[in-house]
Amino acid sequence: MTARIIDGKALSQALRTTVAEAVADFVKARGAAPGLAVVLVGEDPASTVYVASKARQTVEVGMRSFEYRLPADTPEAELLGLIARLNADDAVDGILVQLPVPAHLDTGRVIAAIDPAKDVDGLTVTNAGRLAAGRPNLVPCTPYGSMMMLDSVGRPLAGLEAVVVGRSELVGRPMAQLLLMADCTVTMAHSRTRDLPAVCRRADVLVAAVGRPGMIRGDWVKPGATVIDVGINRIPAPERGEGKSRLVGDVAYDEAAAVAGAITPVPGGVGLMTVATLLANTLIAAHRRRGLTAPAFFAELDKRLFGR
């Protein structure tokens, strides 16, 4: 069997178009566009690229982008002060602090300072707790985008065995919660899991969020399974020239694609959906903060995925 490729490029483009249309309606009704503030502390090259891309796409869908680039040695009090001002600013509907922050800053305190109503990364304890309780508000972008990719396969999720490898706050845990809400039978695997290949082979839906290039081999994949590869790993690619590198996922793609029913590629998969979902979350936050229901597209999506 050769797997169907779940095309992150096409899906993220479609989502951005949906968001742009809803933003236009929002502007017509409210007179102002939703706004997303992105805060970058330091000059980590990968984070700098991500932040620039988020800002560009925010503007492309018609929303306002507020970018804050702070020096790497910014004192925590100064960062918390900025977040407090963004919390109070009505033009700002979403706040994202690009992670990781420099080591002298306490990530937990920084995240906790964000108003949960503007927490478009879904990382505050309030939003994580709501998700764990099965009453989500703003859901972390990568898992929510991954659920949209699963939805695009058109295979009902209820009753399927799902295995999530990785249990981070950002990806693994919220992904498992969302799959549970979609009525999957969920296993969370991690570095202490015994016989990981056997656990993975049970999965009708296999999600890899580990950060180890090609760790999940083809013979770990159940024939016909849907594979969501969240991993983004940069590895040397001498075949492309000296000093060159390329991105690969946590799944050995060629092997897995020969067995799976559907699979996300890397690059061109989950990563693209993550940014599009961030824009969607900002739009949703802009509605909910004003007591408005989210645009119909998201209500229908949530109903289809989670029956709510």
Question: Side-chain half-sphere of 191: how many Cα atoms within 13 Å?
Answer: 4
Peptide bond into 156 cis (omega under 30): no
Q: Which of 131, 139, 209, 225 binds ligand NDP (CB under 6 A)?
A: 209
Task: Please indicate whether residue 303 is annotated as part of the active site.
Answer: no
The answer to whether 117 and 163 are in contact (CB under 8 A) is: no
Name which of 117 and 210 has its Cβ closer to ligand NDP.
210
Task: Please indicate whether residue 222 is annotated as part of the active site.
Answer: no
Name which of 65 and 142 has its Cβ closer to ligand NDP.
142
Q: Which of 64, 155, 212, 289 binds ligand NDP (CB under 6 A)?
A: 212
Task: Name residues contacting ligand NDP, limited to 107-146 (CB under 6 A).
Answer: 142
Residue 193 and residue 208: Cα distance in Å, rounded? 14
Which of 111, 24, 96 lies closest to 66 in space, CA to CA?
Answer: 96
Closest CB to ligand NDP: residue number: 168
Name which of 102 and 211 has its Cβ closer to ligand NDP.
211
Q: Does 276 bind ligand NDP (CB under 6 A)?
A: no
- Rg of the chain over all Cα atoms, to the nearest angstrom: 19
Name which of 142 and 226 has its Cβ closer to ligand NDP.
142
Task: Name residues contacting ligand NDP, limited to 47-106 (CB under 6 A).
Answer: none
Residues 6+ positions from 141 with CB-CB distance below 8 Å: 120, 121, 122, 274, 275, 277, 278, 281
Residue 73 and residue 37: Cα distance in Å, rounded? 20
- Eight-class DSSP state of 120: T
Binding letters toward ligand NDP, positions 150-179, x by CB under 6 A: ---------------xxxx-xxx-------
Contacts with ligand NDP by CB under 6 A lie at 142, 165-168, 170-172, 189-193, 196, 209-212, 230-233, 270-271, 274
Residue numbers annotated as active site = 54, 98, 121
